[in-house]
A and B are shown apart, each in its own frame.
Chain A
Amino acid sequence: MTFEKVKEIIVEQLGLEESQEIKKGTSLINDLEADSLDAVEIVMAIEDEFGIEIPDEEAENFKNIGDIVDYVEKVK
Chain B
Amino acid sequence: MNHRMSIGITGTGKALPEKIITNKDLETMVDTTDEWIRSRTGIGSRRVVDEHTATSDLATEAAEKALEDSGLQAEDVDLIIVATVTPDMAFPSTACIVQKNIGASKAIAFDIEAACSGFVYAMSVAENMIQGGMAKNALIIGAETLSKIMNWEDRNTCVLFGDGAGAAVLQEVEEGYGIQGITLGANGAKGEVLKQPAGGSRIPASHESVENKLHYISMDGNEVFKFAVRIMGQSSLEVLEKSGKSIEDVDFLIPHQANIRIIDAAAKRLKLSKDKVYVNLHKYGNLSAGSIPVALDEAAKEGKLIKGENILLVAFGGGLTWGSSLIKWSKEV
Contact = CB atoms under 8 A, between A and B. Distances in A.
A37 B226 contact: no
A35 B39 contact: yes
Most chain-B CB neighbours within 10 Å: which of A35, A36, A44, A59? A44
Interface residues of B, number: 11
Most chain-B CB neighbours within 10 Å: which of A36, A37, A41? A37
Contacts of B261: 37, 41
A17 interface: no
B220 A56 contact: yes
Nearest to A60: B222
Contacts of B258: none
Contacts of A35: 39-40
Interface residues of A, number: 9
A56 B223 contact: yes
B221 to A, nearest CB: 8
Interface of A: 35-37, 40-41, 43-44, 56, 59
21 contacts: A35-B39, A35-B40, A36-B40, A36-B222, A37-B40, A37-B225, A37-B261, A40-B222, A40-B225, A40-B226, A41-B229, A41-B261, A41-B265, A43-B226, A44-B226, A44-B229, A44-B230, A56-B220, A56-B222, A56-B223, A59-B222
Interface of B: 39-40, 220, 222-223, 225-226, 229-230, 261, 265
